């Protein structure tokens, strides 16, 4: 078997796997209830800490200057919060001491790397953020299709009722540490913090 044929087979297998995940995500989205009320209204209190049981869009984001009408986040200043963070339970994979990795972060993790890194980026234009390059030459902060994620993350996404969001944005907070969430009108809702780069396996 030639190398080219082997590569094509692997490429096709990856495409088939992604298609299966897309079908599952689309099915869950069709079965979910999508409200017809607007998602955003003004919120004077912009606290960053999680609010248990709140739905995306039930809390407002900072007002942004209108710079374009394309729906793009470019031209908007990044703001963020953890008001919708998913801190319940554990991931399915094992981490240090062979224990399952908790979704919740500790107090030290909240200060650094989460708050320190996110506050450093807050107020920057999204285009500037997405153009940041790591030492290895890769983009540090960027979006992913939900179907790119591991099955555990996709299942959790669906169980949280977020099927209407087909993409997720991730910030690199360190070597393997990542902040994952939803970008909506320039505001980043932190959903998950992970320590070992398992949500998007490479």
pLDDT for the residue numbered 96: 63
> Does the pLDDT at position 36 exceed 50?
no
Residue 192: pLDDT band with limits 50, 70, 90: very high
pLDDT for the residue numbered 21: 74
- pLDDT tens digit string along 136-155? 999 999 999 999 999 999 99
Residue 182: pLDDT band with limits 50, 70, 90: very high
Give the domain ranges of the chain. Answer: 3-194
Q: Which residues are CB-neighbours of 86 under 8 A, at least 6 positions away? A: 103, 156, 160, 191, 192
pLDDT for the residue numbered 53: 57
pLDDT for the residue numbered 165: 92
- pLDDT tens digit string along 94-111? 766 668 999 999 999 999
Q: Is the CB of residue 109 less than 8 Å from the CB of residue 193?
A: yes
Mean pLDDT value of segment 181-198: 94
> Does the pLDDT at position 35 exceed 80?
no
Residue 55: pLDDT band with limits 50, 70, 90: low
Q: Is the CB of residue 172 less than 8 Å from the CB of residue 121?
A: no
pLDDT for the residue numbered 46: 47
Q: Which pairs with CB-CB distance under 8 Å and at least 24 residues apart come from 100-108?
A: 101/194, 101/195, 101/196, 101/198, 103/192, 103/193, 105/193
pLDDT for the residue numbered 120: 96
Whose structure tokens read 């200060």?
111
Rounded to the nearest integer, the mean pLDDT of the chain is 82
């Amino acid at each position: 078997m030639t190398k080219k044929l082997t590569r094509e087979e692997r490429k096709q297998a990856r495409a088939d796997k992604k298609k299966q995940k897309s079908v599952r995500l689309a099915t869950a989205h069709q079965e979910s209830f999508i409200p017809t009320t607007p998602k955003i209204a003004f919120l004077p209190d912009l606290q960053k800490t999680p609010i248990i049981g709140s739905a995306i869009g039930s809390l407002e984001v900072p007002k942004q200057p209108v710079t374009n009408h394309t729906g793009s986040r470019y031209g908007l200043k990044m703001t963020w919060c953890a008001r919708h963070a998913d801190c319940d339970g554990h991931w399915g994979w094992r981490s240090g001491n062979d224990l399952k990795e908790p979704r919740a972060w500790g107090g030290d993790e909240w200060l650094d790397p989460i708050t320190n890194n996110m506050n450093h980026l807050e107020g920057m234009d999204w285009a500037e953020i997405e153009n940041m390059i790591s030492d290895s030459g890769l983009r540090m902060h960027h979006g992913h299709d939900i179907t790119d994620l591991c099955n555990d993350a996709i299942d959790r996404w669906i169980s949280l009722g977020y099927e209407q969001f087909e993409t997720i944005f991730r910030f690199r907070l360190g070597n393997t540490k990542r902040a994952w969430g939803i970008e909506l009108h320039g505001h980043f809702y932190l959903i998950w913090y992970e320590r070992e780069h398992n949500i998007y396996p490479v």
